[in-house]
């Protein structure tokens, strides 16, 4: 009887420890994401060709604010929108979903797993000392104990249900479609940089490349300064979004799967070639927020950061105007057609068709020949660069 009880306790302990491992792994991930970059950066950066899109020295502005042509000046705030050395936990959240998730993590998940772990640890110590051989010469022959079996079945079920209630609500909120009047941001992943379109605002495009360190750029090229943001997170062009206005985020990619992720927004959305993914969020506080590609997308996956500046709507409108864009008429749905990479009628598809029609003779596995490219630090076409943005 007693032996079986001990075995049952040990099984329960094992299950609890296994679940602890899962939660601990998740909790550690924000900190862990920074480490590989830091390790990979020096070797990776120095071995690649310099960026082809860097602005010449004369056009390179002194501050990131000036780089945005009329964009509002916005200083990076320490501990906001970026990782902080030596700090555990999630970044300060600036969206409703993020705040709820942060609360759920701190108020439900962490206390639950802490209590489970302490209980299991206490049980382990108890059986180790109370039922050690010296103190327990005649082992129990217990094979069943209905009461405790009901307890160890029901307790985990109750815990999981209590966690599931807020969890499913959060999951649902994360996929809520944007309401009318939302500002659409289309983020397109490329190896290895992001391009952005504002289809509701005249469809202008912004390309964002990571800013390299001073010793990694040619003389005269723009290098990262502390005003730009943290190393590996600062970009030459920041994305500007309005505060307090729902944002419709659409992601896609031109080559492989990327993922547009900004921790402070509680947003991580895969960017998949030939497909549009959509979510929505509303930024509550002005500030500069940094993120990264979060889907392993190739050699320079760690070097395609995201930098978002959240400003009041009036400043956003001024920025759109400075970019040559337009603000949509209030209450009027956008008729903007969002070009889809790989879709019929797109440039990529036309090129594919041309290549196929130029082929002579029977061809097996005919595909478009990959363009010869060195794919250096960025594969931005020269001219589509950032000086003009
Ligand atoms: Cu990527």
The residues with which 194 forms a beta bridge, in sequence order, are 189, 208
Mean pLDDT of the chain: 75
Cβ neighbours, 10 Å, residue 163: 15
| Alpha helices (H) along the chain | 2-46, 96-104, 110-130, 146-174, 313-322, 347-358
Cβ neighbours, 10 Å, residue 160: 12
Residues with C-beta atoms within 5 A of ion ligand 1: 258, 293, 297
61: CA distance to ligand 1 center in Å?
27
pLDDT for 73 equals 63
pLDDT for 248 equals 93
Provide the edge-to-edge strand list for the sheet that holds 193-197: 205-208, 193-197, 183-190, 246-253, 277-282
pLDDT for 323 equals 84
- The pLDDT tens digits for 131-184 are 998 988 888 888 899 999 999 999 999 999 999 999 999 999 998 888 888 999
And the tokens for 20? 């602890």
277: CA distance to ligand 1 center in Å?
15
248: CA distance to ligand 1 center in Å?
20
205: CA distance to ligand 1 center in Å?
18
Q: Answer whether residue 305 shows pLDDT above 90.
A: yes
- The pLDDT tens digits for 229-262 are 889 999 988 999 999 999 999 999 999 999 999 9
299: CA distance to ligand 1 center in Å?
9
139: CA distance to ligand 1 center in Å?
59
Q: Answer for the pair 269, 191: CB distance below 8 angstroms, yes or no.
A: no
And the tokens for 286? 């002005």
22: CA distance to ligand 1 center in Å?
26
Interval 67-95 mean pLDDT: 79
pLDDT for 321 equals 87
């Amino acid at each position: 009887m007693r032996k079986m009880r001990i075995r049952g306790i040990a099984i329960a302990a094992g299950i609890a420890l296994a679940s602890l491992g899962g939660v601990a792994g998740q909790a550690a991930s924000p900190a862990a994401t920074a480490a590989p970059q830091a390790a990979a950066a020096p070797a990776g950066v120095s071995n690649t060709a310099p960026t082809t899109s860097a602005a010449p020295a004369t056009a390179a502005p002194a501050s990131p604010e000036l780089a945005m042509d009329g964009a509002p000046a916005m200083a990076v705030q320490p501990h906001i929108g970026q990782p902080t050395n030596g700090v555990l936990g999630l970044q300060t959240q600036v969206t409703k979903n993020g705040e709820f998730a942060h609360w759920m993590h701190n108020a439900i998940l962490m206390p639950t797993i802490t209590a489970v772990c302490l209980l299991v640890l206490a049980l382990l110590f108890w059986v180790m000392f109370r039922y050690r051989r010296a103190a327990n010469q005649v082992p129990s022959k217990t094979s069943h104990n209905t009461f405790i079996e009901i307890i160890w079945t029901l307790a985990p079920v109750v815990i999981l249900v209590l966690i599931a209630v807020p969890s499913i609500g959060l999951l649902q909120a994360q996929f809520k479609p944007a309401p009318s009047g939302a500002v659409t941001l289309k983020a397109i992943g490329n190896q290895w940089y992001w391009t952005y379109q504002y289809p509701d605002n005249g469809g202008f495009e912004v390309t964002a490349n990571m800013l390299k360190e001073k010793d990694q750029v040619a003389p005269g090229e723009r290098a990262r300064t502390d005003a730009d943001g943290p190393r590996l997170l600062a970009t030459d062009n920041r994305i500007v979004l309005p505060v307090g206005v729902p944002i419709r985020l659409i992601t896609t990619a031109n080559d492989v799967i990327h993922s547009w992720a900004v921790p402070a927004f509680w947003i991580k959305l895969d960017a998949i070639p030939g497909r549009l993914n959509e979510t929505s969020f509303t930024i509550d506080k002005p500030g500069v927020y940094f993120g990264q590609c979060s889907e392993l997308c190739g050699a320079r996956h760690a070097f395609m950061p995201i930098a978002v500046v959240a400003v009041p709507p009036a400043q956003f409108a001024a920025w759109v105007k400075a970019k040559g864009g337009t603000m949509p008429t209030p209450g009027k749905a956008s008729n903007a057609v969002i070009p889809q990479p790989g879709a019929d009628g797109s440039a990529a598809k036309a090129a594919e068709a041309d290549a196929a029609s130029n082929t002579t003779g029977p061809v097996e596995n005919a595909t478009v020949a990959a363009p010869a490219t060195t794919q250096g630090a960025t594969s931005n076409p020269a001219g589509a660069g950032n000086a003009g943005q």
